[in-house]
Every structure is written in C-alpha cells, then in structure tokens.
Amino acid sequence: MIRTGFFIAFVFHCLQALSHDGVIQGMVRIRSNGEPVQGATVQLLQSRLRTSTDAFGSFVFGGLQPGQYTLAISVLGFKPDTISVSAKAHVTELVNVWLLETAIELAGVVVTHREEDNAQTANRMDIAMRPTRSAQDILRLIPGLVIAQHAGGGKAEQIFLRGFDLDHGTDIALSVDGMPVNMVSHAHGQGYADLHFLIPELVQKVEFNKGPYYARYGDLATAGYANFNTTNTPANMLKVEAGRYNTMRAMGMLSLQNKQLDNGSRQAYIASEYNYSDGYFENPQHFNRFNLMGKYRAVYNDRSILTLSASAFGSKWNASGQIPQRAVDQGIISRFGAIDPNEGGSTSRYNLNLQHTRKFANEAELSNQLYYTRYAFELYSNFTLYLNDTVSGDQIRQKEKRDLAGYRVNYRMHHHSGRTVWTTETGANLRWDKVHNLELSHTLNRSIALEQQALGNVDELNAGAFVSETLEWANKLTVQAALRYDFFHFGYQDLLAAPSAESSRKQQGTLSPKLLASYQIGPRMQLYAKSGIGFHSNDARVVATNPTLATLPQALGVDVGMRWKPSSRLVIDVAAWWLRMQQEFIYVGDEAVVEPGGRSQRTGLDAGLRWQLTNWLYADADINWALPRLLEEPKGANYIPLAPTFTSLGGLTARWGKSWSAAARYRYVADRPANEDNSVTALGYWVADLTGKWQHKRWELGLVVENLFNTEWNEAQFDTESRLKGEPQPVSELHFTPGNPRWVRGYFAYRW
C-alpha cells in the first residue's frame, strides 16, 4: 500500500511538472498579530476548487489555466475576504491574505466534503458557544461527552461517551499538544487520563472525533480521541476568582516575547494557576492545585515551526468518596457526609514537549515531536467500607511513580492533477512507560499500611506506524484508505512474589485498517460513511502474567452521517453508529483482580444543532442515544453497568456589543442500569449552569453559577457491596457521590 501511494504521487507530480498551467499559492494570517490561520476555507470561485490552510496558514491551487481568478477566504471568527489573482502559465503567483478577527457568525460556516475541515469548524463553534469555567469543563467541549468527579476534585474525571463508561480513559485517547494524557497500566485503572495539568484559559482549540476510524491514533482510540491545543499567542493577563465553600483561584499569563518578523515570528509566554477550595462536603476537601506552563514558538521563513513547552503540576486533596444510599436513608450521615473521612490523595506531573514542523518546496510537511513526562500518583479510597476488615475498615492506597517518553513523526504530501487531489500521509510513534513501585495496599487513616496486596514494576513499550491515502475528486468526493500497525512489549516484575525474579513478559502486535468516504451534495450538505478497526491495550499486570487473556482486544465500528446547513445560520449534524468490542475485561486496580466481560455491542444515534437565532443570540444542543449490550450473557442479564443510554447537552449564549455576554447551559443524563441485570438503577439528572461577564477595554468582571436551580443530583454512582460498621451482613446497593449544590463564584480579570 505504501509503494502504491508513493507511485501514484510520483506520477501526478511528474504530470504536473510537464503541464503549462499556472499555480496560485498563498498564506492566510491574522491581521493583528501575524499568526498563521490553520483550517481557513479557500475557494477558487471560477473553478469551484476548494482547499483549506495548513499549520503554516498556507494553501495552493495547481493546474490552473491562465486567466483571472477570485479567491474567497472564510473561517469562523474572522471577517471573510475576497482577492482577485491572475494565473499565468509556468508561473507560481504568491498571495498574502490578512484576516480581521470579528464576532462569531455561523453564516461563515462552510460545509465541505472534507470531514477534517468540518470537525475543525465544529470545534470553533463549540469553543465560542460553550464557556469554559474550569479544568473539568475542558472535557465537556467534546459533543456528547459527560463527566463525573468522585474523589474530591483532584482525581481524573470518570468519562461517559457513546454508550461507554470509559472509567477514567480506557477507550478514549486524550492528548495535549500531541503529548499523551492517558496513562497505561495505571495504579487506578487502564488509560487513566488526568487533564488537570492544563490551564483552561490556555486552550485554543480541541481536535476531536468519535469512533476508531483515524490512523493517527492507535491505543485507546475506540470511542474516539481528543487533542487539546494550547494557545500560541502570548498575552498579559491577571485573573482572580472567589466563591462559596472557601473557593479561591488565581491565574496569570505574561508575554515574554512577541515579535513579528518579515519572514516569521518569535513568541513566548509563561502562565500559572493556583486553585483552592474546601468544597461542599461536610469534611473539608482542602483541595489545592498549582500549575505552571511556559511555551516558546518560532516560525522561520514561513517554512519551519519550532515549539517548545514545559509545564509543572501538583495537587493535594481530601475526599468523602462514594457513600451508600442506606446510610443517608437511615440518617447516619447526610448526602454530603462521609463514612471514611480520610480519603484523598496527591498527584504531580512535569512535562517537556518539543515539536518541529518543516515544509518543503513541494508543499510536503514533515513533523517531529519528542516528549517526556515525570509523573507521581497516590490515592486513598474506601469503596466497601467495612466489608473485608470489620475493625479497621477497607481503605486502600494506590500509588505509582512513572517516567514516560515518546517520539512521533508524520510526513504528508499533496499532489494535484486537474480536479483531483491525492494526499499521502505516513507516520510512526514510539512510547515507553517505566512505572516504579506500582502499589495496592490496605491502609488505615492514610498513615498505617496494614497489608501490601500488590507491588511491582511495569516496563511497557508501544511502537506504531501507519499509512493513509486520500483521494479528493472535484470538491465532491473524498475517499480515504489507511492501515495502522501497533506492536507492544509488556513486562511486569512482581516485587511481592520474588523481588529479584525476572519480569513476566509478553509481546503482541495488531493491524487496524480504516476506510472513510464523504460526498458533498451541493454547498449545504455533506454525507459520510466511516468504518475501521481500533483497539485498547490491557494492563501489563494482567497480560504479562495471563497468556490466555486477550492483550489487544479490537473494536470494529461503522458510522453513517450527514452535516446539513439548511439556512445561513443553522448547522445540523446527525450520525448513526455501531461498535462491537472483542472483549470487555478490565483490570480492577481497586482490588487487583480481573473482571472478564466478554464481547459487547453498542448501537447509537448522535444529533447536534448549532443555531444563530439573532445577531447576538446562539443556541446549541447535542442529543445522544445508545443501546449498549453484552453479547455473551442472556437477555435481561446483558446490560453494561453505568453505560449511558441517553444524554443531552446544550444551551444559549448571548453577546451584546463588545462588553456583555452570558450563557445558560444544561446537561441531562437519563436513568441507566448500574449492574448487569438492571436491578439497581443509576439515577439520571438535569442540571443547569449560568455564566455572565462584562468586559470593557482591559477589564473584565464575571459571574459563574453552577447548578442554578439547586438540583439534588448524584454525580458518580456505582452498585457496590459494602458493610457499615457494626452491620451484621454486607449489602449490595447504589453508592454515590453527590453533585454540587448551587455554587456561586465571581472573577475579575485585567489584560494589558
């Protein structure tokens, strides 16, 4: 497949070189700071050719007959522009476009045959219409994704998407500036993804897609992926926030360099955040988090981009954990009380990330990335209370220290021949995780270790490569075929069984083919179909010591959908999907046991609406339905615990002039089974939030009201067997972490 792609590319390159036609090549930048604009739609009106700008803000049209052409450039958040250009035989005409930032206008949304362009447009709409209030809200930028926090605010959120209880990241690949967030073979669960090291004000855009259809993403990308990109534009900013429950937050950003040169730019900034809150529980959380990030970006000769970033993160907290419903019903504790008030933990993460992108004379791009992470985690939990130890209780400690290093390389080239464009992309990645003293212990009061139940070292290596060939014909049809291969080496040394013994080891590889097609019906509608195989790796502690269990269970998925723009200010997305998992077994880090689940199937429907009602009022809504089932269990006992069946997120956003804006948002989760036979129900909820701000020149005042109507709701829920102190027999029932009551916060920001 690789040889075929390069042969086709070579043939078209030679044909184009022999042609007498002209070329129009240009670059799109922001007028205020000279930054390149990626993802802008550029249309050649006379020929109906259309393309989008790359990371350098550049575009190219080849194979043009001599004559006069009009370029139409549009991208959400900028004023559209048109430019007249003359194409001449044997000549490459250079064009510079400077766009002016303006208010979001959905009239500027262009529906294209390229699914990548449509996803970027959806991303810009959602960031503009979904105000981000905290680090937790970053994940909610992904349409249809619901989160739950159940450990005092410092633990990674539990994630729900497309009929999956993703736990803390088992089936969704998350990254920041291309650096992986997920931790494989983690002390608390496979794929654990803690995004709290990301300062929310620094998020510039989120690249996301659902399903196992994208060759760039391998391990864990079954329900989907999301890559959070931090801003490249430095600014001076100070923000202070305060609210109920002794909540305080301070955030600052300082521009260190911002130079626009004739042939490039140099930019650098540093940003920091400190957050403290006692939370709404009777047992104060004493939650505190500190973030620090610095970023440097240099553009050389409009042909090379170098980016270096470094960040540090640390957090400590107390937690009230999940409490049994009977303890509240019997008046032993309130909804906000705790059976074990000594839960909580601490975590830290230090990152280095180096990226370089080079564009060659033939417009091909080569990207290289090196990253390193130093990570530590310590969590104290008590899910079963006094089930196993009726005297001291069942508190556990999960702990690890980790070194994570990786490398990525991508090469992409385009070849034009008349109305046909071929794009060849190849890439490879290498990731190495070295986990030290991966521990599960029975503890008392977070200070006494009663028993070590598991202790070991993990050595895990993942090497992957892919090739993708994309055909675009007449700005109508796009077909992409891709193949990905991943190889894993797992090693686990059990320090309790034999500290000096050799590690248990296992190796395995997997192929993941992908096929996508999209067709544009006129200027307002795009139809698409996607199919592909993905996978998630399993915990090294399981696969290295249990050779009969699946190491890399696969997921086969199909999506069929459309994007429709029936009017200039209304965009509708609809997708029907199907996903089958080869195996549902997981390693339960809380108990150091394996829970086999067999094969599963999920069928669903996603629908999204983005509507600009007036010049100042916007509406958005996502509705997501799923039917998740286990395939190897009898009917009535084949429910997938906690898998969401119906969710909806949406709201209204208003912007008056340049000073006032407000947003009212809701999130809804329907009742769903909490166990396999649906005898225990995880209760649904509907919660509304309100935000508002006033901005004048350099000053900004804001108000955030979470849970506006003071709804009583359960944020995290589990069917757990537990025993209260003195209780004669254990009871299996719903355990929950209460969602926050009405929570009011205000903030002040100053920019200079």
> What percentage of residues in the chain have a pLDDT greater than 90?
72
Give the tokens for residue 136: 């937790």
User: Is 471 in contact with 478 (CB distance < 8 Å)?
Assistant: yes
Q: Would you call 238 helix, strand, or coil by DSSP?
A: strand
Neighbouring-strand partners of residue 575: 561, 606
What's residue 596's pLDDT? Answer: 65
Quick one: average pLDDT of 156-162?
Answer: 94
Fold of 175-181+183-281+293-355+365-413+421-698+708-751: Maltoporin; Chain A (2.40.170)
What's residue 419's pLDDT? Answer: 75
pLDDT at 116 over 70: no
End-to-end CA distance of the chain: 54
* Amino acid in the structure at residue 156: A
User: Is 393 in contact with 726 (CB distance < 8 Å)?
Assistant: no
Give the tokens for residue 320: 């009230």
> What percentage of residues in the chain have a pLDDT greater than 70?
92
pLDDT at 16 over 60: no
Which range is least confidently modeled, 75-79, 223-227, 569-573, 659-663? Answer: 75-79
What's the CA gap between 191 and 194, in Å, rounded?
Answer: 10
Topology agreement, domain 2-102 and domain 175-181+183-281+293-355+365-413+421-698+708-751: no
Ranges of each domain in the chain: 2-102, 175-181+183-281+293-355+365-413+421-698+708-751
pLDDT for 701-719, tens place per residue? Answer: 999 999 999 999 999 999 9
pLDDT for 438-453, tens place per residue? Answer: 999 999 999 999 999 9
pLDDT at 120 over 60: no
What's the CA gap between 487 and 506, in Å, rounded?
Answer: 11
The model's pTM is 0.93
User: Is 663 in contact with 688 (CB distance < 8 Å)?
Assistant: no
- 614: pLDDT confidence band, cut at 50, 70 and 90? very high
Domain 2-102 has CATH 2.60.40.1120: yes
- 683: pLDDT confidence band, cut at 50, 70 and 90? very high
